[in-house]
Amino acid sequence: MLRNVLALRQLSQRTISTASRRQFENKVREKQKLFQEDNGIPVHLKGGVADALLYRATMVLTVGGTIYALYLLGVASMPKKQS
């Protein structure tokens, strides 16, 4: 039992460390050049295809939700039929 606890403690200390195992290339300068470039594209679309798709999906959901809310308000404002 004690051996298992000590092994778990050692494993947890080994996996949670501040030292990075992989070194990633710093791409901040490239991203700064891309986003600061004056090419007429709005900044929220300069990220490429993924940004354009996210923007369009957001706009579709916003417009669709607004239309649906207005429809529900119209339905709620009509009196119910007496049968």
| Amino acid at position 74, single letter | G
Question: Is 26 a domain residue?
Answer: no
Question: Is 28 a domain residue?
Answer: no
In terms of residue numbers, what domain contains 57? 45-77
- Of 40, 41, 60, give the one whose Cα is nearest residue 49: 41
Question: Is 6 a domain residue?
Answer: no
Per-residue pLDDT at 6: 74
The answer to whether 36 and 24 have CB atoms below 8 angstroms apart is no
Question: Is 10 a domain residue?
Answer: no
Question: Is 49 a domain residue?
Answer: yes
- Number of domains the chain contains: 1
Q: How many Cβ atoms from other residues are within 10 Å of residue 11's Cβ?
A: 10
Residue-by-residue pLDDT tens, the chain, 83 positions: 777 777 777 766 665 556 666 788 899 999 899 899 998 999 888 989 999 999 999 999 999 999 999 999 999 999 888 87
- Of 24, 49, 48, give the one whose Cα is nearest residue 34: 48
Question: Is 23 a domain residue?
Answer: no
Question: Is 50 a domain residue?
Answer: yes
